[in-house]
Chain A
Amino acid sequence: AAGVIQSPRHLIKEKRETATLKCYPIPRHDTVYWYQQGPGQDPQFLISFYEKMQSDKGSIPDRFSAQQFSDYHSELNMSSLELGDSALYFCASSLTLHLNGTTRYEQYFGPGTRLTVT
């Protein structure tokens, strides 16, 4: 079965540079999420898109922006990179299902992009 694809898998940038991370969700999934995970930490929610519209915003710095395109892939743009931005960035996708009065929307995570800022 198709999984969430992220590229690149590893990225090394210098301070003040920019970076663009890409995510290709599972086909027919309607929601995309971006997370940042530092070493030994839980995933920190950054932002999500439902049907290509921004649906929720978490702890995303103003230096970061994201969008979802007509083909449903999403990009996370990061500018003026700082050392503290070094982390694993996960993209996840989900399909919202309403069944028997409940909503199912389990998230399927991609392998992540490891960003190192030097």
Chain B
Amino acid sequence: GQQVMQIPQYQHVQEGEDFTTYCNSSTTLSNIQWYKQRPGGHPVFLIQLVKSGEVKKQKRLTFQFGEAKKNSSLHITATQTTDVGTYFCAGLMDSNYQLIWGAGTKLIIKP
């Protein structure tokens, strides 16, 4: 079936280090959305990428959509404690317009 693979499952970083999560789809995506879920909270929409090769920035967050519209990444520069949470990608399938969620990457700041 259609899948969106997201890696890694967890990433432990020291505060101030960078963080990256990657999503890869088996099929072409119409667009991809990114959400953040804080511990004990609900997913919150961050951004939607639509165009091939698109790059968008939100302060320390950089989102990329691959040229083939099958992969995407989220990079956080100089992580802060407020970045803690799970980051999900969700891709809209080109074929049937169904939204498929990645498994999420949990960002953990080492004490």
Contact = CB atoms under 8 A, between A and B. Distances in A.
* A and B: bona fide binding partners: yes
Interface of A: 41-45, 56, 90, 92, 102-104, 106-112
A92 to B, nearest CB: 8
A13 to B, nearest CB: 21
Nearest to B34: A106
Q: Is the interface of A mostly helix, strand, loop or mixed?
A: strand
B27 interface: no
B33 interface: yes
**Chain B interface residue count: which class?**
10 to 19
Contacts of A112: 42
Give 10 nearest A-B pairs by CB, closest first: A109-B42, A106-B45, A102-B50, A42-B101, A42-B103, A109-B43, A42-B104, A112-B42, A111-B42, A43-B101
A104 B48 contact: yes
A106 B42 contact: no
A5 B19 CA distance: 33
Contacts of A107: 33, 35, 43, 45
